[in-house]
Structure 1
């Protein structure tokens, strides 16, 4: 419905001064009588289902006619006293149709169940969430977020309460006879600007009637000056387990920083994060973050402050993707942020996190996209970037190298010159000075932290848009000892050292929720032959390794951890068979990168490390299972290996494991309580394309007390 008072400006010129003075009173009377309708019981028909129907033009015309009639009556009754005129206006039956007409539009267009309205209230009709899917009420459990006492359960009741409050405040604005009247910061115009804007569009209300003075909201908006939004992606970072899957936040650009992205001091960062207790032990912190026992927290900080954390403290490259949103959509998103920024909602590390919040905000202004419902239950930041690209919501991107990446580029250039001009040209001390963050404070940010600098460095091959899909299924055929088998495997994520490396940090290695089932053929000639049945070969909860080569500009450590159930060969007993055990392993060591670093397309230097990697670990492990000697074993030893990047499609990795296992003392002469169990492994992968690969795995167990020493397998891997 359009309440178009702008068209009255011509009529006002033709009236007398006395008539002009009576015009605000006419509007006041109109809205006051409509206000009386607001206290009627909410019609049950307001709560409807279905899609948004076309706006009812006759209803709009009728409402506009009511306003015109009221104003005409006011002008014609200029000889009456003010009190008599007020009484006449309050009894005007046409004016009483205002709120009734709004309610009719809500019913006819099913606005109470319209997708955007329900998203503004945190109803989760189409969200794939283990904890939110199927709920029929809002996720917000805060009475201050609703005007109706039934608002959390009933979006129709909350919509009607908004109409009542809006009619009351329009009355106040009209009574002040001002284009921008003073209002209370607790008014609906100030508390819920996104809801009001949506109602304004849905009901065709004239924007000029809603120009309220909201000091807190106006100051907040003036400070942020939102003109453009971008998604900032900070790459995966294993040295902080809570950042292992990368991180995303929104960059809020003002007109100045939108015109010149290097002027970051004119931008702000909107970050959705966990409001956890830093004093909690890490295990407790992680459990609470994953199960919703912590709340989320919306942080809005100067953008340079957040960017410095990733580039300088964590040494993580970032990618910034401008969102293809209109300025009006940007303002509506920020209005919704204003409404929700202080809500205490449960934080779920895998489902309701920094990445899902970005999709939820975009869904408010692009309801037809249904972005959240397109992702699986686990929401991964790089998946969000890929989805936004697939939906044509990314306008452009910008790469910002971390401080260590810039130092690595300088190191690569120095080594290149050293090889070309002779060793005496660059000393070892000079190379170490380049690697040192204290001596060489190279950065993408200016010294005052207020702007971005242009560095002569090629873009790294870690754009998340280039990575393979994170889920994996494989089928393999193999031979172990005298038995043939078929392997069937599934991995929820993420990436191991032989997977296609594009789109991820170098040498990244993190796997989670992976399982492999094995179907053995029967060897009738062996007494301990495997039956034709499926056995669980492996279930990995988490397995990862962080490589920070000591001869590069990276400053972190090299370490690894795994928690899994796996089949192992028990070497304590004569002709021991394999058994399923629970296993926990921790590794710490050093790694080295070697070879010629990749160059850019124009031959310019990159900040990537050399492509080849060698490493050595000191390891400790504990395993338990009913089938092994005494039900447990603990071990310590060393692992050493190398990974070689043959070309962009082919990689090979070899490793030697030297664990020394202890089961406890045994009185049986043929059972050993402790022993070495060397194992060599070899893996080779060829990438067919971004989503397909072939892998060859081979291993040999050098322990003489196992029923099968060798295992070789060829598998087809499909990423999805």
Structure 2
């Protein structure tokens, strides 16, 4: 931008005469929190400033990415460039900067360029109000396992004319060129391997992507930003068109960038300061709510939730009919056995079959045969309409426990007492406080546990880099796979009854089943590779199993698990574990754990512990 503006000035007529500003006044403006926010500056690790923006086109000064004062001076000079520059004029490129400086310095003598491109863009968006949208977590997509946030920019007539589908979605995300697989995507996202870009797209496109393609529930938080505040934010978004940021999953992500925009919209609120290490979407939604920005909350269920809600009152035989209707509606509708069913049951089955067909078609190319099946079912539904679908609103995700967890425990391993100290950066395991989280979902990132035995003997008990489980129950209509993956360091039984710290990677796949309203059973086959000093080979592979029960009970969550690993070298390692969490409050829990471990290398070992968990961010 600096070079382009210099060339333009050289070719343009003489600019307006610029006033001379007092140095102290410029110093004060350059240190103003709003100017710092407009430049996306943060305090550098060694002092001074650095901008999160990783794109030299954003800056007018050669050192503008680290010198807010120099960028301010360059901006003031540029605002007086000849009006003949038109859309390339800095006032047109930086409308948010221009507005703020004009107001602060009473710049009434600025040139008046014709900003045709910006004015047409702004008029098309017609910003009037803002909605924070949270597509809930979706464990089967590595990029979505923490959820996501975006902003919806509404026009003035949104409520009177129900025109939300005509609104725009403001999204910040990783810019991906090519087709990276899920594991590479996760790795590059963690390490900042992708640039991040802002984008304004029609909201209906984002709604289709998150609600249908990924089957994610949507939460919409209408913010109490005024039309002026919303316009101020949208002006700054124009300044960020095609401007690249570094993108990291855990901190400089979609949620953090949107918090910066809200600080632009309403000067004086402090949101980003709360997230110096990580910015997990549910925590940022909670921060927005705690800042008093939320006026109301709406919920949009996913197609999967709608299908399951419609199928819930159907018995096994009726679900079989729904499957047949979805596959062969003509023959099933003509079957005398179906016609013999009560009309109210037919209505429910037909609607479930239609929803199943729509669910299956998501992400697929249009199929004339599938369209014909849907049309046949729609005709049947019109002849015998079902009652309106009622979906219970789930717990709001931001009302669940915060993501970071401190852990303090005490216990006994055979005849040795110990104290244990732990920290988990994110986010939730199968036994954690349940409110706001689905049963069977686990995402643990960067968990450290230190153990102190009698005699002041300290040891690293475990260091989990990641430990993720998705135990989604199967039913007659939907047959999702359950899976798990994890890796890090952990203690296992070793020779002479000692514990060995081993490094490992493990994964598994299988199924989960809803055994009761709050009871889930699961069984997975597993694979594991391990580096263990007791083994002759550097890497030892193992096949095994992981099965158990999860019960959400009046006290909290209880799990009963059996595991086994059968190594290629002959080692067999098994364990039985029982965990019960007592939910003292949203942010506090107590967990009782009992475990019995077996190994070919040592005698069985019993371990019991009691652990206090404090959730915060």
- Whether the TM-score (by the shorter chain) exceeds 0.5 is yes
Mark the runs of 5 or more structure 2 residues left unpaired by the alignment.
Answer: 1-12, 320-339, 362-373, 375-386
Match of 2:557 among 647, 651, 659: 651
- CA distance 1:540–1:143, shift in 2 (3 Å): closer
Match of 1:110, SS state, is helix
Corresponding residue number in structure 2 for 1:546: 470
Match of 1:558 among 469, 473, 482: 482
* Larger Rg over CA atoms: 1
What is the CA distance between 1:556 and its match in structure 2? Answer: 3.4
CA contact (8 A) 2:571 2:601 kept: no
Match of 1:698, SS state, is strand
**d(CA) in 1 for partners of 2:128 and 2:224?**
12
**d(CA) in 1 for partners of 2:250 and 2:359?**
36
Match of 1:567, SS state, is strand
Match of 1:346, SS state, is strand
**d(CA) in 2 for partners of 1:281 and 1:654?**
34
Corresponding residue number in structure 1 for 2:393: 460
Could you list the per-position Cα deviations for residues 483-535 of structure 1 after superposition, in whole angstroms to 9, with x for gaps in the alignment? 121121111111011112222234211111111111222xxxxxxxxx64011
What is the CA distance between 1:578 and its match in structure 2? Answer: 2.0
**d(CA) in 2 for partners of 1:433 and 1:576?**
60
Q: Does residue 1:186 correspond to 2:186, yes or no? A: no
**d(CA) in 2 for partners of 1:417 and 1:136?**
67
**d(CA) in 2 for partners of 1:429 and 1:562?**
45
**d(CA) in 1 for partners of 2:113 and 2:317?**
65
Corresponding residue number in structure 2 for 1:614: 521
Match of 1:252, SS state, is strand
Q: Greater strand share, 1 or 2?
A: 2
Match of 1:201, SS state, is helix
CA contact (8 A) 1:315 1:404 kept: yes
Mark the runs of 5 or more structure 1 residues left unpaired by the alignment.
Answer: 1-31, 39-98, 126-130, 173-181, 448-453, 522-530, 597-610, 664-673
Corresponding residue number in structure 2 for 1:662: 568
Q: Does residue 1:201 correspond to 2:108, yes or no? A: no
- CA distance 1:427–1:328, shift in 2 (3 Å): closer
Give aligned pairs, total. 560
Match of 2:487, SS state, is strand
**d(CA) in 2 for partners of 1:369 and 1:133?**
26
**d(CA) in 1 for partners of 2:468 and 2:71?**
48
**d(CA) in 1 for partners of 2:479 and 2:163?**
29
**d(CA) in 2 for partners of 1:496 and 1:429?**
40
Match of 1:239 among 140, 147, 154: 140
Corresponding residue number in structure 2 for 1:377: 277
Corresponding residue number in structure 2 for 1:119: 37
State how 1:39-438 maps to structure 2 within 5 Å.
99-100=19-20, 103-104=21-22, 107=25, 110-125=28-43, 134=47, 136-140=49-53, 142-169=55-82, 184-205=86-107, 212-257=113-158, 259=160, 262-415=162-315, 434=352, 437-438=355-356
Q: Does residue 1:626 correspond to 2:520, yes or no? A: no
**d(CA) in 2 for partners of 1:284 and 1:704?**
37
Corresponding residue number in structure 1 for 2:440: 507
Could you list the per-position Cα deviations for residues 117-164 of structure 1 after superposition, in whole angstroms to 9, with x for gaps in the alignment? 132123224xxxxx8785524344545433344433433333233333
CA contact (8 A) 2:310 2:351 kept: no
Match of 2:99, SS state, is helix
CA contact (8 A) 2:598 2:604 kept: no
**d(CA) in 1 for partners of 2:350 and 2:568?**
42
- CA distance 1:391–1:430, shift in 2 (3 Å): closer
CA contact (8 A) 1:399 1:459 kept: no
